[in-house]
Structure 1
Amino acid sequence: MRIFKPIVTFILIAYLAPMAMACAWWMSVDRPTSWRAADWSATGLLPAPTASPEATVHVLAARIGGFKGAFAVHSWIVVKEFGASSYTRYEKVGWGNPIRINRYPADATWYSNRPWIVTSISGQDAEAAIPKIVEAIASYPHSGRGDYRIWPGPNSNSFVAHILREVPELDAVLPPNAVGRDYLPNGRWIAMDRDGSDLHVTLAGLIGISAGLRSGLEIHFLGQTAGLDIRRPAVKIPAIGRIGLPGNLPK
């Protein structure tokens, strides 16, 4: 029974303490009271699609609305093919047709919360990746009505994480507070990134690990992630996010 004490201590320090801190901070933030009162407009974070003819891909994330925003973010993916005059935004939501295309501007706020760029690629790298992204979106098994589950998944972050695993050219993982990112399609227990860089083991997204060149070492617990990124040195803190070098260093 001695093993339970260090486990409980680890959970308290690594997960519950950061979540309590995030909750206290979130309670001090001025937030919209409803979906209708929230801002969903473009932020100017991304350059105008006509600024350059080159192909681009961006993965973005922003805090979600309501009390859940203390602990979780929503993520989506934006692509622009070579010579295109507009972006195409893909994301999964919990209402209507789950896979939404261009429901909001590419870099819009999410429930009044400003997004940030998780990763970006451009030029020939993006041209090569876009067909694979489209294929990964089409093959995602939880794209029907009723396939969305806010916790532990499959949700918006499960969708984007699937694309990142299938398209290693994006060379990124979602933030540690992207709840649902560790839920594997069809409830699988184990998965490997397409290029073999990361191994993921999970029990329905509730508890598990990810390890490899891209993820570093992560321990997942009830949708939150604690871990270390070795290649791009950073600490991954539940509810709070990534502290250290950014995850989208220039390639």
Structure 2
Amino acid sequence: MQYSSILPDVINIADEASEKVLHIYQSDFKVSYKEDRSPITAADLASHEIIVKGLRNLSRDIPILSEEGADVPWEERKKWRRFWLIDPIDGTRDFTQRTGEFTVNIAMIEDGEPVMGVVTAPALKEAFWGVKGEGAYSRDRTGRVRRIRTAEPKETLRVVASKNHLNDETRAFIESLGAHETVQAGSSLKFCRIAEGHADIYPRMGPTSEWDTAAAHAILLAAGGKVQTPEGESLTYGKENILNPYFIAAGNWYF
């Protein structure tokens, strides 16, 4: 499948979802909570509906797994060689706290690997995308598009970490890196900051789900980076348990 041929359509779908999300973000929205006490808003659901409708119009034969979709039994999912993996809003806490650091995420998974990803940041008016073997790109708030690559680190590492999930294990790993400075970023933007060369490494020694990371993982891979477990194994998708292991995202210099 030539992913570059459908990439413009996927970007358009993400942009349409972003416009709706931003409209709700700028309104007096209400926050509800799921059974696990994670927040959800009308923006999550609206984004989900727009993306699913758009992707089904684009490729009816490719299944879709979404954070806000119905649970798909493992007996069905394990047959999927290729599927869309979406997070309608990653960083709902950032959305509810109005930090602007939330994203819309669409990924294509093939044989367990994220081969294409699109990430938009509606409030920041930024977008990122990448295709395996074809490079990664960003679009700034002026609409300018440029190719992005990971950067070789300088003496002081630029570490990006989750301000909402910074636990003792992550702090210990960061301290083990030596001289460093912290780059603040929310949601899947942490991967994107590395992909565009504005940060060097993102350690996550805590739980995440496959839809939290897939799209930005694809972009980082296309930009010359990697995502691996502390044991050196690649982060894979389409597992029976959708939770990710601990991981480290960085440019190839680290691995």
TM-score by length of 2: 0.25
Instruction: Name the structure where helix makes up a greater proportion of residues.
Output: 2
TM-score by length of 1: 0.25
